[in-house]
Amino acid sequence: MPTRLTHSVPVDCETVVRALWAYIDRELSDEERAAVDAHMAECDHCRAHNDFERRLVQSITALRADVREPDELRDRVLDALRRARTEGEGEGEVG
Amino acid sequence: MSNTTWPMADATSIAPRESDFESLTLPHLASVARFALSLTRDRANADDLVQETFLRAMRGWHTFKAGSDPRRWLFAICRNTFLRMRQERHELVESSEEDADALPTVLGHVRAVEQGLGDLFELLDVRPAIVAAIDRLPEPHHTILVLVDLEGHSYEEAAAVLDVPLGTVRSRLYRARRMIQDALLAYAEDAGVKRRASEAPAVDTVRC
């Protein structure tokens, strides 16, 4: 049974592994993060898991640079907005 | 994830200036377009969705709270517009509780190391496999992955955009990553990337 992450109580591998995504995504509290850091400093296995899964996430997030703004789409949206203003569309439902 | 404070339109009012609409929303056009494509899976429909999103945003600009995040606001409009424009098909893969945390994925890493695939990031260009795996993700996992890993939203922001609980964001995201890892390992195996198990550094099961 995984124990709660707290810096005052050494945690086991299962607890650290279960928290790994949250740790990589920086979704843990400072106390929880410190507990994982302390465990990683002493555990080669969990450090290896962290390295591998972190590389996986980095491989995915590296695709952020692929964001391209289609020029035609921008022009299309601007034209639509201008037409809507010209036609006097007022405030309404947001969606 | 961003702590940026957006410009206040008026010190005495929370209503944004109409003249700020384009300057505050259009910088996010590319991100909204990518999100729309993740929802529709079709370029033409995605462009329609983006156009409708910005029209709705303009009409509802008076409801936008100056100082809040316009990108998150646009994403929420985009999603709600998508749900209105199309009947949502229930072609979903239900997230099971086993993806509530990283354990299932880490067990995949253990198996990978046993198969000599632990060094695949050093031995392979994984980008094509990652792109293909993301494209094959079923909904709702594809949208969650786009929101968090590609658009950089926090768990909380993604939950707000999709109007789902935080736990749902976690389980769907973790399941998406596990599916991508599984696809990547299969790709590496097909590519012949294998060290003999005896050469691979030992990585035990999840136990100290």
Query: Residue B63 and residue A45: Cα distance in Å, rounded?
Result: 51
* Rounded mean pLDDT, B180-190: 89
Residue identified by tokens 């599916």 is B179
Handedness of CA A93, B4, B7, B10 (dihedral sign): positive
Per DSSP, B148 falls in state I
Q: How far apart are CA A57 and CA A62, in angstroms?
A: 8
pLDDT of residue B92: 45
Q: Place B207 in a pLDDT band, splitting at 50, 70 and 90.
A: low
Taking residues B87-112, what's their average pLDDT? 68
- Work out the number of other CB atoms within 10 angstroms of the CB of residue A13: 19
CB contact under 8 A, B206 and A27: no
pLDDT > 70 fraction of chain B, expressed in percent and rounded? 79
Q: Which chain A residues are within 8 Å of B102, Cβ to Cβ?
A: 17-22, 53
- Residue B207 structure tokens: 């136990």
* B153, B157, B158, B163 alpha-carbon torsion, rounded to 10°: -170
Spatial separation of the C-alpha atoms in residues B142 and B137, rounded to whole Å: 5
pLDDT value, residue A32: 93
- Degrees to nearest 5, angle at CA A60 with A59 and A64: 110
Write b or e for each residue in B6-18: b if 16 or more Cβ atoms lie within 10 A of its Cβ, otherwise e: beebeeeeeebee
pLDDT reported for residue B88: 47
Amino acid at position B115, single letter: Q
Residue A7 CA to residue A35 CA, distance in Å, equals: 4
Number of other residues whose CB lies within 10 A of the CB of residue B201: 11
Q: Mutating which of A4, A26, A52 best tests the B interface, going by the most B Cβ atoms within 10 A?
A: A52
Q: Does an H or E element contain A89, and which? A: none
B11 pLDDT more than 80: no
pLDDT tens digit string along B67-89?
889 999 999 999 888 877 765 44
Greater model confidence, A9 or B61:
B61
Rounded Cα distance between A48 and B182, Å, is: 18
Indicate whether A5 pLDDT > 50: yes
How confident is the model at residue B90, as a pLDDT? 45
**C-alpha span between B207 and B116 (Å, rounded):** 20
CA-nearest residue to A26 within chain B is B154
Among A11, A25, A77, A83, pick the best mutation site for testing chain B contact (most B Cβ within 10 A): A77
> What count of Cα atoms within 13 Å lies in the side-chain half-sphere of residue A61?
13
User: Mean per-residue pLDDT for B6-29?
Assistant: 72
- How open is the CA angle B52-A88-B33, to the nearest 5 degrees? 15
Confidence bin at A71 (pLDDT 50/70/90): confident
Question: Highest mean pLDDT: which of A5-19, B103-117, B146-160?
Answer: B146-160
Comparing A5-9, A55-59, B54-58, B162-166, the range with the smallest average pLDDT is A5-9
Task: Tell me the nearest-neighbour CA distance from B40 into chain A, angstroms.
Answer: 16
CB-based contact B206:A18 (threshold 8 Å): no
- Give the pLDDT score at A40: 94
Query: Is the pLDDT assigned to residue A25 strictly greater than 80?
Result: yes
Q: What is the ipTM of this complex?
A: 0.77
Res. B180: pLDDT tops 60: yes
As a whole number of angstroms, the distance between CA B85 and CA B101 comes to 34
Residue B30, C-beta contacts closer than 8 angstroms, at least 6 positions apart: A67, A68, A69, A70
